[in-house]
Amino acid sequence: MSRLLKQHYQHRKLEDWVENRTAYTLQDAELSIFETHQQAEKVFLQFDDPVIASMISGKKVMYLKDQSAFDFFPGESVVVPAGQPMLIDFPEAQPDDPTECLALTIAPDKIRENITFFQEQTAIEKEAMDWSLDVQSLHIVDNQGIQQLVERLIFLFTESHQSKDVFADLLLKELIIRLLQTQARFLLMDNAENLLSDHRLAFVIRYIRENLTQDFSVESLADKACMSKSHFFKCFKHTFGVSPIEYVNSERIKKAKKLLLDRRNTLADVCYRVGFNNLSYFIRQFKKHEQLTPTQFRKAAKA
Taking only the tens place, the pLDDT of each residue in 32-59 is: 999 999 999 999 999 999 999 999 999 9
Helix, coil or strand: residue 98: coil
Domain check: are 199 and 185 in the same one?
no
| Domain extent at residue 298 | 193-303
Burial (CB count within 10 angstroms: exposed 0-12, middle 13-18, buried 19+), residue 292: middle
Domain check: are 114 and 260 in the same one?
no
Q: Which of 226, 284, 217 is nearest to 248 (CA)?
A: 217
Q: What is the CATH number of the domain that holds 295?
A: 1.10.10.60
Asked whether the predicted pLDDT for residue 170 surpasses 90, the reply is: yes
Q: Which of 95, 55, 56 is nearest to 78 (CA)?
A: 55
- Which of 156, 190, 224 corresponds to the end of one domain? 190
β-bridge partners, 111: none
Domain check: are 173 and 216 in the same one?
no
CB atoms within 10 A of CB 221: 23
- Domain total of the chain: 2
Domain check: are 184 and 274 in the same one?
no
Domain check: are 180 and 281 in the same one?
no
Q: Which of 52, 16, 7, 51 is nearest to 35 (CA)?
A: 16
Q: Mean pLDDT over all residues of the chain?
A: 89
Domain check: are 68 and 157 in the same one?
yes
> Structure pTM?
0.76
- Which of 190, 216, 248 corresponds to the end of one domain? 190
